[in-house]
Amino acid sequence: MNLTRLTLYGFRNLAEQRLDFGDGLQVICGGNAQGKTNLLEAIFCLTAGRSFRSADDQILVGQTDGADEKVGYRLEGEIKRRDDALHPLLIFDQETKRRTFTLNGAPLRRVMELWAEVKAVPFVPADSLLVKGPPLLRRQFLNRFLGQKSALYRYHLQRFSTALRHRNAILKEMQRGNRGESLETWNGVYQEAAQALVDERAAAILQLAEAAQSFYRLLSRRGEAVRLAYQPASWEIGKDLAGGARREIAAGTCLFGPHLDELEIRLSGRAARFYSSEGEGRCLALALRLAEYRILCEDGGDAPLLLLDDALSELDGSRREALLDLLEPLPQSFLTTVTIDELPRRQREKASIFDVQDGEIKKRPDPAG
Amino acid sequence: MPVFPPSFSRLLEALHRLPGVGPKSAERIAFFLLKSSPEESEELAEAIRLARRSIRACSQCFFLSEGDPCPICRDSRRDPSFLAVVEDSRDVIAIERGGFFRGRYHVLGGALSPLDGIGPNDLRIAQLAPRLQDGQVKEVILAINPGVTGDATAIFLAKFLRALQVKVTRIARGLPVGTDLELADEVTLRLALDGRLEV
Ligand SMILES: Nc1ncnc2c1ncn2[C@@H]1O[C@H](COP(=O)(O)OP(=O)(O)O)[C@@H](O)[C@H]1O
Ligand SMILES: [Mg+2]
Ligand SMILES: [Zn+2]
């Protein structure tokens, strides 16, 4: 799928403007703190329903020094797919703190409904936390990846998170000494959804590991062995639920289930979370994102949007070329860079280039005329 | 900030408490009532008062009714061998609209929802037992909504009812799940496959 148009208002430091994007590589070029990441963030918000760096909509609203205070932000886009076009519209109202999200004019009840229609894979420098940060970030990665890949996963994820909240409420009551007449009943509902998530994760991680290894080989200097080890908080959730009930009641919360899973990443046999360097972490994260992208493509639908923030600066000459070669055949991809010199001439000539200065984004005229 | 007269604010607040009525709609309704004739508002107030006074839960099935027992429980042409258990009076109305179900009902008054503090004792589950005592009911049909709380309620009821030695069935899941068609198709298909019947 291709983002053909984006209309911005009140988002971060970005000026109110309409942008038209082309096919293939879209290079976003500009100095530090000009708004490159903000632009990718706007695209991601509109396609995923939330930001990749802030959960708080108020932080996204453009702050100006006095004069024309923004009443919120508004993002609108046009996404062309093989057979149709989609028009997502996201509005955040600063005063009521309410967000409205519509797709082709129809309101979305849940953000996840969007994931069925529009797919996007981002990579940002902060993604090194995907490797070096807490397990929560890797679970979010898995949920987002599988949530885009499978309708059944979305269905079970939504059921699981509801069942989790209900089961926690029962355990809290029991911790206070009240009877939990329906605990056993809820164990059943909880376990069914939990098991479905665990099974889908286990299968997908095998696919992910293979793809991540090949991308890491391509992008890192030494190409060490990458292993992904799925560590479910409980393989046999049923057994643990029965046996662990006493501990769970004492804790007043669920102690077993996919909301506690870990996806361990190993590099040359060592846990990358603790041993990898910042650079290795970034490179591994990029490999994981590209793996996510490739697997989402394999499902035969439209290819997702690929949003790469500052992905070249960490790579040396030949790895840069390798990454750019990967991007070349894609229907559309976005890449930010501080200087266009990071791109070899061949790619520069084919790409659409946008210059960002102080939130103003301008398309560079086509050299061919 | 405009300041409304206290009686107007009270009206707004009362309207705002109604389900599905936000602050904007509350304002619209309140202005409409004040602009329309006094009789119009009187009629609305009277209709609410009368409905509140004369409608009660049927003592047998707990469906909302003006008489007790309700017309459905009183109707001797109804088949006493089927009992449909539903969450809410609205579900009775929905099934009755179809006109194909000839048995009787039992309204639970909600679904299990620990998050809202609703456990088995907050629903009319125990009240099912006396209704099954005379052996007339041959099959209890759980016409409970799909979804997490509905599923939990159905599982709980199935266990409770099996102990009373009655046949228990649950209505099939064939309706779209969610509004997203692509998603609904795939998931519904899978659920329908899981719940397939031997022919
Ligand atoms: N809500 C906001 N309103 C106005 N400016 C913002 C807001 N949030 C961030 N900024 C500013 O946007 C600028 C550009 O950010 P960013 O897109 O991350 O830069 P870069 O081009 O280096 O990727 C920064 O100077 C930052 O202070
Ligand atoms: Mg940046
Ligand atoms: Zn009745």
- Lowest-confidence segment of A4-8, A34-38, A151-155, A365-369 by average pLDDT: A365-369
Residue A233 has a pLDDT of 85
> Looking at ligand 1, which atom is closest to the CA of residue A35?
17
Least confident of A230-234, B64-68, B115-119: A230-234
Share of chain A above pLDDT 70, in %: 95
Which pLDDT band, with edges at 50, 70 and 90, does A63 fall under?
A: confident
Sorted by sequence, the CB contacts under 8 Å of residue A69 that are 6+ apart come out as none
* B75-194: CATH topology: Dna Topoisomerase Vi A Subunit; Chain: A, domain 2 (3.40.1360)
Calculate the average pLDDT of chain A. Answer: 92
The CATH number of the structural domain formed by B6-54 is 1.10.8.420
What's the rounded mean pLDDT across residues B112-136?
95
Residue with token string 């061919």: A368
**Mean pLDDT confidence for A270-275:** 96
Q: Of A22 and A116, which is predicted with more confidence?
A: A22
pLDDT, one tens digit per residue, over B150-166 is 999 999 999 999 999 99
Two tokens at A270?
């060592």
Distance A135 CA to ligand 1 centre (A): 28
User: What is the spatial order of strands in the sheet that A360-363 belongs to?
Assistant: A120-123, A305-308, A332-337, A24-29, A352-357, A360-363
**A72-80/A360-363 β-pairing:** unpaired
Write down the pTM of the prediction. 0.88
Kindly state the average pLDDT of the residues A47-71: 84
DSSP state of A130: H
Which residue's CA is minimally distant from atom 27 of ligand 1?
Answer: A33
Which residues make up the environment of ion ligand 3, defined by Cβ < 5 Å? B 58, 60-61, 63, 69-70, 73
Report the candidate in A199, A183, A293 with the shortest Cα–Cα distance to residue A237.
Answer: A199
Is the pLDDT reported for residue A172 higher than 90? yes
- Cβ atoms of A39 and A361 within 8 Å: the answer is yes
Separation of CA A35 and ligand 2 centre (Å): 7
* pLDDT for residue B179: 44
pLDDT of residue B181: 47
Q: Whose CA is nearest to atom 5 of ligand 1?
A: A13
**pLDDT 10s digits, A310-339:** 999 878 888 999 999 999 999 999 999 999
Taking 80 as the threshold, does the pLDDT of residue B196 lie above it? no
List the residue whose alpha carbon is closest to atom 25 of ligand 1.
A33
Backbone angles phi, psi at A164, to 5 degrees: -60, -45
Percent of chain B with pLDDT over 90: 76
pLDDT value at position B153? 97
Do you know the residue count of chain A? Answer: 369
Token match 């991601």: residue?
A44
**pLDDT: which is higher, B172 or A283:** A283
pLDDT tens digits, residue range B18-50? 988 888 899 999 999 999 999 999 999 999 999
Over residues A207-250, the pLDDT tens digits come to 999 999 999 999 998 889 999 999 988 756 566 666 678 888 99
Interface of A with B (CB under 8 A): 109-110, 113, 116-117, 151-152, 154-155, 159, 162-163, 165-167, 169-170, 173, 180-182, 185-186, 188-189, 193
The C-alpha of B115 sits at a distance from chain A's nearest C-alpha, in angstroms, of 5
Structure tokens belonging to residue A208: 């992910």
A366: confidence class by pLDDT, cuts 50, 70, 90:
confident
With contact defined as beta carbons under 8 Å apart, do A190 and A163 qualify?
Answer: yes
All domains in chain A, ordered by first residue: 1-119+304-369 (3.40.50.300), 127-301 (1.20.1050.90)
H-helix or E-strand spanning residue A228: strand A226-231
Burial of A80 from C-beta contacts in 10 A (0-12 / 13-18 / 19+): middle
Task: Give the Cα separation of A230 and A201 in Å (integer).
Answer: 8
Place of tokens 């109305």: B93
| Helix, strand, coil share of chain B (percent; to 5) | 50, 10, 40
Query: Using the beta-carbon criterion (under 8 Å), do A185 and B159 form an inter-chain contact?
Result: yes
State the average pLDDT over residues A179-200.
91
pLDDT score recorded for residue B4:
82
Give me the pLDDT at residue A67, please: 62
Q: Which atom of ligand 1 is nearest to the CA of A31?
A: 21
pLDDT at position A62 over 60? yes
Q: pLDDT band at A129, cuts 50/70/90?
A: very high
Nearest to A92 by CA among A54, A60, A67, A63: A60
* pLDDT of amino acid A66: 65
Residue A40 has pLDDT above 90, yes or no: yes
**Could you give the 3-state DSSP secondary structure of residue A214?**
helix
pLDDT, residue A368, reads 60
**What is the structure's pLDDT at A286?**
96
Q: CB–CB of A110 and B178 under 8 A?
A: yes
Average pLDDT of the residues in A269-292? 95
pLDDT higher than threshold 80 for residue A267: yes
Domain ranges of chain B: 6-54, 75-194
Ligand located closest to B131 CA: 3
| Mean pLDDT of the B112-123 span | 94
> Quick check: B135 pLDDT over 60?
yes
Q: For residue A258, what pLDDT is reported? A: 94
Residues of chain A positioned with their CB less than 8 A from the CB of B117: 169
